[in-house]
Amino acid sequence: MSYPKRTAALASVAALAGSAVLMAAPAARAEVVNVNYQCKTPIGDKSAVSPIDIKGVKSGSGYKLTMSWQKGISSSPVDLGKGAMSPSATIKLGGADSGTLSVTGPANQATVPANTPIKINDLTGTYTPKKSGKVTFTAGVLTIKALGTTTTCTPTNSPGASLTLDVTAASGSSGGTQSDSNTSDSGSALPQTGPEDSAIALGTLGGTVLLAGAAGALWLTRRNQAARARR
């Protein structure tokens, strides 16, 4: 093969490889974001900063999201025994979608010593796209329930998104309110049972009986006339 042809072939291969790389570019972007939490606790206000990581994995028609804290949040003046602390949080949706998503996780698997930062276990939830496009996921409010008390931690530094996904809504999904499942199709609608309709139904029944009675009387009259004629 001549040099010019070989150079052109190599250029074509490189172009194809570049196209393949572009086509294989990930549809997700994750970033660890520092979140400054201000916490309302039973013993007063506290603050803590923790890097937050949110990951998304495709699962059926939606995504399984996992929210992770890399540092402890708040603290307790007493030991929290195994299973004494239950965390949950919200994730704010942005971009092509809006609203919040709830994530939950297991209680603490080991005792949390008093006056030490509380390590939050990974929290998970499922996100089902309602609209297609790029959707952002940002850390929201963290709630910690322990020993009959509730601590609420709210981000105050307007953190950026920890995750961005390029999603596609399920076929036929518009993100709107679902239609009333109690609505019947035309031709198969059940009769109403209100007082007015009951009266109409009874009137119809009475009319049917009345017509039947009239027909019976007419039949009896004709029968008697025919009997007299035979005599």
* Distance in angstroms (rounded) separating the CA atoms of residues 29 and 224: 97
Residues ≥6 apart with Cβ < 8 Å to 192: none
Angle of CA points 160, 162, 163, to nearest 5°: 120
pLDDT of 102 reads 97
Least Cα distance to 96 among 30, 160, 163, 167 occurs for 167
Q: How confident is the model at residue 12 (pLDDT cuts 50, 70, 90)?
A: low
pTM confidence score = 0.63
The helix/strand/coil state of 155 is strand
58 vs 222: which has the higher pLDDT: 58
Q: In this predicted structure, which of 23-37, 93-107, 181-195 has the lowest mean pLDDT?
A: 181-195
Q: Which of 64-68, 112-116, 213-217, 224-228 is the most confident on average?
A: 64-68
Place of tokens 């004494």: 84
Q: Which of 130-144, 159-173, 180-194 is the most confident on average?
A: 130-144
225 vs 41: which has the higher pLDDT: 41
Q: How confident is the model at residue 73 (pLDDT cuts 50, 70, 90)?
A: confident
Letter string b/e over residues 54-67, b meaning 16 or more CB atoms within 10 A of that residue's CB: bbbeeeeeebebbb
pLDDT higher than threshold 80 for residue 2: no
Torsion of CA 47, 51, 54, 55, to 10 degrees: -160
Q: How confident is the model at residue 28 (pLDDT cuts 50, 70, 90)?
A: confident
Paired tokens of 168: 């596609």
pLDDT higher than threshold 80 for residue 220: no
Paired tokens of 79: 């030991």
Q: In this predicted structure, which of 62-71, 94-103, 112-121, 201-210 has the lowest mean pLDDT?
A: 201-210
Average pLDDT, the chain: 74
Q: What is the pLDDT of residues 36-57, one digit of tens each?
A: 999 999 889 999 999 999 999 9
Mean pLDDT of 85-100: 96
* Distance in angstroms (rounded) separating the CA atoms of residues 139 and 131: 21
Burial of 86 (0-12, 13-18, 19+ CB in 10 A): middle
Element containing residue 7 per DSSP (H, E): helix 3-23
Paired tokens of 165: 């996904």
pLDDT higher than threshold 70 for residue 223: no
Q: How confident is the model at residue 198 (pLDDT cuts 50, 70, 90)?
A: very low
pLDDT of 189 reads 34
Least Cα distance to 52 among 37, 38, 74, 41 occurs for 37
Q: How many C-beta neighbours within 10 Å does residue 80 have?
A: 21
Q: How confident is the model at residue 117 (pLDDT cuts 50, 70, 90)?
A: confident
High-pLDDT (> 70) share of the chain, %: 62
The helix/strand/coil state of 230 is helix
